[in-house]
Amino acid sequence: MDKGKVLASSLLSKYKHFIFDCDGVLWLGSQRIPHSVELLRAIEDAGKHCYFLTNTSLVSREEIRLKMNDVLGYDIDADRIFTASSLAGSHVRINMSHKKKALVIGRGLLIKEIQATGIEVIDASQFDNRYEDFTYETKEDMAFEEIDLVVMGYDDRINYYKMALAFYAIQKGAELVSTNADRATNSYGYPELKTLGNGSWVACLESASGKKAFVSGKPNPGIFKIIGDIHHIEREDCLFIGDNLETDILFANRAGVDSLLVLTGVTEPKNMEHLLNREGAGKPTFIANDLS
């Protein structure tokens, strides 16, 4: 054990609730990270509780539950799993039930999450091909005055029509909810480069309108309240475990929850000191090499 580091298993007696990030903590892609299942089982055996919080907006809670079965051989109720899409739905259901009509820009899963809240949804994918005849001069019946909520997730069919419709609605008072703030995201076509993330469309609308979006992914501390209220979790009884300083540890710090940084994902032993000393990076309560 290196100086200043702890054994993750030594923290078991200190907390009642353990919220895990997934990628880089439990698995890397489709590879199980050693010691992850053993710690999950030890927490359960001690009569304590595990939850899972991931920033992905493209995969459903059920798909993550199935991946846990496949990769870890570990089964858990889907209601203990939180994704950026499911949290956008929870936020709308809990805090925005008075809304009448939502414009949802994103993939099918996000549309379903918002439809499940009972709010009428305009699925922006019907405008996927509205880019040839629409300009800043166009005046047509866009019904933006009826839209009182705009929800955005990753959409690689984004276009000027969708953005203009969202911006018109926001100027008329619609609120903006986003699944994440990632301005750049992995490009699988060009692995050495990033591509535009959902956060870049959201930043565009924020910049034009001067209004801030509610971001349903980490590091927004508001999502701890959603999870905590659903599962009756008190901050002081909870440990958050993640591999990313800028999302996981910043989230825990902002939410007032203790955190454990593990060095099995984006923060590696060789770049840890550099990342910890970088301006704006959060400091974790504990650091461990892995979940042993």
Instruction: Select from 11, 17, 19, 21 the one that contacts Mg ion (CB under 5 A).
Output: 21
- Quick one: which of 182, 243, 251, 263 contacts Mg ion (CB under 5 A)? 243
Structure tokens at 247: 């999302």
Instruction: Report the residue number, 19 or 119, with the smaller CB distance to Mg ion.
Output: 19
Output the smallest distance, CB 22 to Mg ion, in A.
Answer: 7
51 to 90: interface string for Mg ion, x by CB under 5 A = ----------------------------------------
Torsion of CA 167, 168, 169, 174, to 10 degrees: 60
Among 15, 24, 164, 252, binds Mg ion (CB under 5 A): 24
Q: Which is nearer to Mg ion, 161 or 240 (CB)?
A: 240
Per CB under 5 A, 23 contacts Mg ion? yes
Q: How big is the chain by its Cα radius of gyration, in Å?
A: 20
Residue 160 DSSP SS3: helix
DSSP strands (E only) in 33-87 = 49-54, 81-83
Give the C-alpha distances (Å, rounded to integers) separating 271 from 71, 146, 187, 263. Answer: 27, 50, 23, 10
Q: Which is nearer to Mg ion, 243 or 258 (CB)?
A: 243
Is residue 246 close enough to count as binding Mg ion by CB under 5 A? no
Hey, is 79 helix, strand or coil? helix
CB of 248 to Mg ion, least distance (A): 6
Q: Does 182 bind Mg ion (CB under 5 A)?
A: no
Residue 282 is a binding residue for Mg ion (CB under 5 A): no
Distance CA 94, CA 1 (A): 44
197, 184 contact by CB (below 8 A): yes
Cβ-closest position to Mg ion: 24
Closest CA relative to residue 219, chosen from 40, 21, 8, 17: 21
Least separation in angstroms between residue 153's CB and Mg ion is 18
Residues found near Mg ion in the complex (CB under 5 A): 21, 23-24, 243, 265
